[in-house]
Amino acid sequence: MDEEKKLPEQPEQPEKPAAEAAPAPKPKPKKKKPKKDPRAKLYKPDHLLIMSSSPHLSTVDSVSRIMWTVVIAMLPALLMGVYYFGWAAIKMAVTCILAAVITEAAINRLKGERFTIKDGSAVITGLLLAMTLPPSFELSGAVIGSVFAIAVGKHIFGGLGYNIFNPALLGRAFLQASFPVAITTWTNPRTVDAVSTATPLGAFKFEQIGTALTDLLYGNTGGCLGETSAIVILAGGLFLIIKKYADWRIPVSYLGTVFVFGGITWLIDPVAYPTPMFHLFSGGLMLGAFFMATDMVTSPITSKGSWIFGIGAGILLVIIRLWGGLPEGVMYSILLMNAVTPLINRYTRPKYFGEPRA
Amino acid sequence: MRLPTFNKGVHPNDFKHFTCSLPVKSLPMPDHVLIPLQQHIGAPCTVNVEKGQEVKTGQVVGAGEAYVSSPVHSSVTGVVKDVGTFRHPLGSKVQMVYIQRKSEEDEWELMEPITDWQAAKVEDLNTRIKAAGIVGLGGAAFPTHVKLAPPKEKPIDAFILNGCECEPYLTADHRAMVEQADRILEGMAIIMKILGVTDGYIGIENNKPDAIQVMHEAVSRGGYDFKVVSLQVKYPQGAEKMLIQSVLNRQVPTGGLPMDVGVVVNNIGTAMAVTDAVKEGKPLVERIVTVTGDGVKEPQNVLARIGTPFIDIINLCGGLTDEAAQVFMGGPMMGMSQLDMKVPVIKATSGIVCTSDKGEAAEDAMPCIRCGTCVSACPMFLLPTRIARLSEVGQTEAADELGIMNCIECGSCAFVCPSRIPLVQWIRLGKLRVGEMKRKAAQDAA
Ligand code: SF4
Ligand code: SF4
C-alpha cells in the first residue's frame, strides 16, 4: 500500500511552527516567549491526534469474523458426520484442516507475506473438503487434496479474494480425477467396517433403487461426511443467511431451480427420473447450496448476478445428474458457474440511481 | 405501516445519546475569531477590511460579488488584527480575517428588518438571503440564494426541509427543531414564497420522535399546511437525492440536480438563518454545533460564533479526554479529520466529534473478498469495489464508465466493508483523476 501515501488526505506533520509565508499572529506563540499567551498550551492537545479519511466508522463485521462464523455454522453438520461415521469422520476433518492450514502457512512464508491463518479461510477450505470426502477415504489422499486446494485453488490465483474457483471444490475435483474409485466408495453409516455401499443417488442412477425421504432428511444414508443430513446443513445455512454472511438468493435460486427442473423431468417420466424432493435432499446439494455456492469470493457481487448464478448451477446440476456420466453434479455445477462469475459480474451492473430504465 | 425510505444504505450506530437531550447552550464570546473568506462553494470573497480597522458584529469583512458566492461577516465586535492564510478545517490553507475582540460589548451592525415579508418582493427577499451570507448549513455550504433562484426552464413544485440529520453523533438540527420550531417554519415559509411553491414537506428520521411531535404541533399552531413526513432511520437518508426519493418518490436523474425533478431541499439550520436574516436583518454569524463523542469531557450542543477556534469550544466543553484519538468536523461518515485544533468553526460546521476510536490502520486492509456487501450498501447503485479498484490501478476511463462520478462519497461502502478497504479514499482519488481527464479533453477539443 505504498500508493496510499500519495492520497490527498493522509496525515501531515502536525504542529509545524509558523514557518508559512503568512503572518500567523495569535495562535502560534513565538518560540522565545512561549509563556506569553496564557492559553498557548491549550492549543496543543497533549497527545497527537490521528488523521484519517472518512468514513470514520465501520461495522463490526470483518473477514475473520465472517470466516469463523462460517466454520461455526458448519459444526453441526460435522457433528452429524461424527455421529454416523464415528472416528473416521473426526480423523478426516482434522487431517484436512491441518493440511490446509499448514500449506497456507508455508505459502505465506514462501511469499514473505504476513500469516493469514487467523482469517479462518484455510480452516474453511480444509473443513469443506473433508465434508465432501467419503469417510473411508485414504487420509494421505485427503492431505493431497487439501494441499492442492490451498496451493493451486487459492494461492496460484493470488491468495484470498483473487481465486476464481472455490478452493475446496477444486481440491475435491482433483481427487476425483486422481482417485476415481476410492472417492466413490461409500460406507454405510453406523457401521464400523468399510463395507462399500451405494449412495442414494448412485443407487437410483445405476440400480433404480429409491431411498426413503426421511432417511435422507436425517442423514441415515451412505455418502460423504457432510452430505448426509440435510436438516443440520439447512440449519447452519439459515444461520449464515440470517447473519447476512451468505446471500440467500443463491441457495434459493439453486435449490428452486433443481426442484422445478427436476420436477418437470419427473412429471414427464416418473419411472426413469427421481422425484424433485429426492433431488433436493440427496447428495451434496444442501451442503453445496449453503456452504459452497455461497462462497463470497467465487460468487457474483451483484444480486441479479446471484440469481443467475443459482439458476445456472441448478440447471447444470440436473443435467449432470440425469444425463451425465456421474451420479453427482453439485461439484461441477458450482465450479462451472464459478468460471463464469467474472462475466456475470460484468453484465449485471445495477442501474445507477436515477439512470433511465431502458 | 412501513415508513418511507430510499433503497440500499446502511445502519450505523447513531451515538446520538451523548447530546440529543441537551438544550443548546450559548457560549461566551470568543477572544478572537478567524473568518475564512471561503466557506462556501463558489468564488472566494474579497477582503474589504484593513488591518487595524474596527469592526462590529455582523459587518461584512469579505464581499462575495460573484453570483455564486456568499459574503462573510465579522462575528464579534473588535479589531482586525491581520488578514492572512491560516489552516481551514477542510484541509488547505486559505485567506482569513483575524479579528480580536475588543470589549465585552457586542455591537451589531444589522440590516433593515423586513417584518412584513409576505408583502415583500421575492427579489428583495433573495437579495437579503445573499447579503446575510446564508449557505447550506448541512455541510455542503452551497449559496442558498442560488438554490432559490433556479433557471426558468426548471419549474419547482415542491420544497423539502431536511430534518434527517442522518449522520451519527450530530444533534444540532434535532435540538433546533425541538427548541426553535416556529423560527424554522417561518424560514421555510419565506423560502417557499421565494420559490413560489405551495407543497412543503419536512422530512425527519423516525429516531427523533420529540422533534416530529414538536414540528407537527408547530405546523398546526402556525396554520401552515406543511406535511411532516417521518422517515425510516437509515444512512444516508439526509442526502438530497435519497431524501427526495423517500419523501416524494422521485428519482433525480443520474448526473442531475434536485431541480431537475422540480424540488429544492434545504436544511433546518438554513431555514432558521433565513428567518433571522429577513425578520431581524441578522447576517449569518453563529450556528449550532454539536460537540460530542467520548473524546470530549462534556458533550454539548452549543451556539457558537463562526470563526471560533475549535480548541476554544472544546475547552468550554471540558476539553479533550486523555483517550481522545481523533477529532472530526462534521459527522463520522463524511466529516473531515482535524489535526490542528486552531481551525475555526465555519458555516458548514455541524459538529465537532471527538472520539477515542483510533480507526483502522491502512495496513490492516485485507484483499477484497468480493462479498458484495458494498454493492448492497451503495445508495447510488454503484459497484464500489470495482470503481475503487479501477482508480487504485489508475484505470481512470474504466472507472468513469462505471459511473464513478455519481458517487456522493457517503461512505456507506467503506463502512460495511469487512476487509476495511479505504474504498472512498480510492474513489475520491479516481474522481479527481476523471475530472482532470475531462478538463484535459475539453482543452484539447477547444
Ligand atoms: S460508492 Fe460512493 S455513493 Fe456508493 S456507497 Fe460508496 S461512497 Fe456512497
Ligand atoms: S465490501 Fe469490501 S470486501 Fe466486500 S466486495 Fe466490497 S470491497 Fe470487497
Place of cell 442560488: B146
Place of cell 444512512: B235
Q: Is the pLDDT of residue B21 over 80?
A: yes
Ligand 2 atom closest to the CA of B385, numbered from 1: 7
Closest Cβ–Cβ partner in B100, B339, B379 for A14: B339
Tell me which of B79, B310, B369 to substitute to probe the interface with A (most A C-beta atoms closer than 10 Å): B369
Instruction: Please check whether residue A300 touches B, CB under 8 A.
Output: yes
CA–CA distance, B34 with A187 (Å, rounded to integer): 81
Instruction: Please check whether residue A1 touches B, CB under 8 A.
Output: yes
What is Dmax (Cα atoms) for chain B? 62
Q: Which three cell numbers stand for residue B88?
A: 481551514
The complex's ipTM works out to 0.86
Q: Which of B413, B361, B369, B416 is nearest to B387 (CA)?
A: B413
User: How many angstroms separate the alpha carbon of residue B244 from the centre of ligand 1?
Assistant: 18
Q: Is the pLDDT of residue A346 over 60?
A: yes
Whole-Å CA distances, B305 to B156, B213, B347: 34, 29, 9
Q: Is the pLDDT of residue A15 over 60?
A: no
Mean pLDDT of B270-299: 94
Instruction: Please check whether residue A55 touches B, CB under 8 A.
Output: yes
Q: Which three cell numbers stand for residue A117?
A: 491463518
b/e per residue, B148-182, with b = 16+ CB within 10 A?
bbbeeeeebebbbbbbbbbbbbbbbbbbbbbbbbe
Q: Which of A156, A83, A159, A165 is nearest to A122 (CA)?
A: A159
User: How many angstroms separate the alpha carbon of residue B412 from the centre of ligand 1?
Assistant: 6
Is the domain spanning B114-280 CATH 3.40.50.11540? The answer is yes
CA–CA distance, B350 with B164 (Å, rounded to integer): 13
Q: Does B366 contact ligand 2 (Cβ within 6 A)?
A: no
Which element (helix H / strand E) includes B79? Answer: strand B78-87
Q: Is the pLDDT of residue A278 over 60?
A: yes
Contact B85 A21 (CB under 8 A): yes
Burial of B43 (0-12, 13-18, 19+ CB in 10 A): middle
Could you report the per-residue pLDDT of B183-220, keeping only the tens digit for each?
A: 999 999 999 999 999 999 999 999 999 999 999 999 99
Q: A197-201, A267-271, B358-362: which has the minimum mean pLDDT?
A: A197-201
Place of cell 458548514: B348
Closest Cβ–Cβ partner in A21, A62, A301 for B370: A301
Ligand nearest to the CA of B392: 2
Contacts of B334 in chain A (CB under 8 A): 54-55
Domain boundary assignment for chain B: 114-280, 370-445
Q: Which of B235, B168, B150, B164 is nearest to B202 (CA)?
A: B164
The CA angle B262-B263-B265, to the nearest 5 degrees, is: 165
Please name the residues in contact with B206: beta carbons below 8 A apart, sequence gap of 6 or more. Answer: B3, B212, B230, B231, B232, B233
Mean pLDDT of B360-381: 87
Please report, in angstroms and rounded to a whole number, the separation of the first and last CA atoms in chain A.
Answer: 40
Which residue puts its alpha carbon closest to atom 4 of ligand 1?
Answer: B378
Instruction: Please check whether residue A49 touches B, CB under 8 A.
Output: yes
Mean pLDDT of A271-281: 83
Distance of CA A146 to the CA centre of its chain: 15
pTM for the predicted model, two decimal places:
0.87
Q: How does DSSP assign B201-213, residue by residue?
A: EEEEETT-HHHHH
CA–CA distance, B38 with B348 (Å, rounded to integer): 11
Virtual torsion, Cα B38, B41, B46, B52, nearest 10 deg? -20
Q: What are phi and psi of A37, to 5 degrees?
A: -90, 115
Q: Does B396 contact ligand 2 (Cβ within 6 A)?
A: no
Contact B419 A12 (CB under 8 A): no
Helix/strand/coil for B417: coil
Q: Is the pLDDT of residue A269 over 70?
A: yes
Please name the residues in contact with A291: beta carbons below 8 A apart, sequence gap of 6 or more. Answer: A70, A73, A74, A128, A131, A233, A236, A237, A240, A246
Q: Is the pLDDT of residue A207 over 80?
A: no
Contacts of B328 in chain A (CB under 8 A): 54, 56
Alpha helices in A243-301 (DSSP H): 249-268, 276-281, 285-287
Shortest distance, CA B36 to any CA of chain A (angstroms): 14
Contact A55 B333 (CB under 8 A): yes
Place of cell 466557506: B39
CA–CA distance, A141 with A146 (Å, rounded to integer): 9
Q: What are phi and psi of B297, to 5 degrees?
A: -70, -45
Contact B378, B427 (CB under 8 A): no
Could you report the per-residue pLDDT of B155-181, keeping only the tens digit for each?
A: 999 999 999 999 999 999 999 999 999
Q: Is the pLDDT of residue A203 over 90?
A: no
Predicted confidence at residue A40, as pLDDT, reads 43
Contact A301 B371 (CB under 8 A): yes
Tell me which of B375, B382, B393 to substitute to probe the interface with A (most A C-beta atoms closer than 10 Å): B375
Mean pLDDT of A135-147: 90
Ligand 1 atom closest to the CA of B387, numbered from 1: 1
Predicted confidence at residue A186, as pLDDT, reads 60
Place of cell 466529516: B335
Instruction: Please check whether residue A302 touches B, CB under 8 A.
Output: yes
Predicted confidence at residue B283, as pLDDT, reads 95
Contact A14 B340 (CB under 8 A): yes
Contacts of A161 in chain B (CB under 8 A): 366-370, 419
Contact A120, A101 (CB under 8 A): no
Residue in A with minimal Cα distance to B12? A59
Asked if the bond preceding A55 is cis, omega within 30° of 0, the reply is: yes
Contact B409, B334 (CB under 8 A): yes
Ligand 1 atom closest to the CA of B406, numbered from 1: 3
User: How many angstroms separate the alpha carbon of residue B360 from the centre of ligand 1?
Assistant: 19
Contact B406 A297 (CB under 8 A): no
Domain boundary assignment for chain A: 63-347
Predicted confidence at residue A249, as pLDDT, reads 96
Predicted confidence band of residue A28 (pLDDT cuts 50, 70, 90): very low
Whole-Å CA distances, B183 to B24, B303, B350: 15, 15, 18
CA–CA distance, A351 with B13 (Å, rounded to integer): 29
Whole-Å CA distances, A307 to A304, B364, B378, B384: 5, 33, 19, 20
Q: How does DSSP assign A33-100, residue by residue?
A: -TTSSTTGGGGS-SSPPPP-PSP----S--HHHHHHHHHHHHHHHHHHHHHHHTHHHHHHHHHHHHHH
Partners of B288 in beta bridges: B303
Predicted confidence band of residue A204 (pLDDT cuts 50, 70, 90): low
Contact A349, A184 (CB under 8 A): no
Ligand 1 atom closest to the CA of B378, numbered from 1: 5
Instruction: Please check whether residue A21 touches B, CB under 8 A.
Output: yes
Which range scores top for mean pLDDT: A54-68, A261-275, A278-292, B417-431?
B417-431
Mean pLDDT of A228-238: 84
Q: Is the pLDDT of residue B289 over 80?
A: yes
Predicted confidence at residue B411, as pLDDT, reads 94
Contact A258, A313 (CB under 8 A): no
Contacts of A249 in chain B (CB under 8 A): none
Mean pLDDT of A289-305: 94
Contacts of B429 in chain A (CB under 8 A): 7-8
Partners of A186 in beta bridges: A197
Instruction: Please check whether residue A60 touches B, CB under 8 A.
Output: no
Mean pLDDT of A275-298: 88
User: How many angstroms separate the alpha carbon of residue B374 from the centre of ligand 1?
Assistant: 8
Q: How many CA atoms lie within 13 A of B438 on its CB side?
A: 10
Contact B71, B96 (CB under 8 A): no
Which amino acid is located at B120 in the chain?
A: A
CA–CA distance, B332 with B313 (Å, rounded to integer): 19
User: How many beta-carbon pairs under 8 angstroms link A with B?
Assistant: 213
Alpha helices in B223-309 (DSSP H): 240-248, 268-275
- Architecture of the domain delimited by A63-347: Orthogonal Bundle (1.10)
Contact B369, A70 (CB under 8 A): no
Closest Cβ–Cβ partner in B365, B379, B420 for A353: B379
CA–CA distance, B221 with B186 (Å, rounded to integer): 12
CA–CA distance, B7 with B21 (Å, rounded to integer): 30
Contact B372 A59 (CB under 8 A): no
Contact B85 A51 (CB under 8 A): no
Ligand 1 neighbours (beta carbon < 6 A): B 377-378, 380, 382, 384, 407-413, 423-424, 427
Please, what is the angle between helix B172-179 and helix B181-195, to 10°?
Answer: 100
Virtual torsion, Cα A307, A312, A313, A317, nearest 10 deg? 140
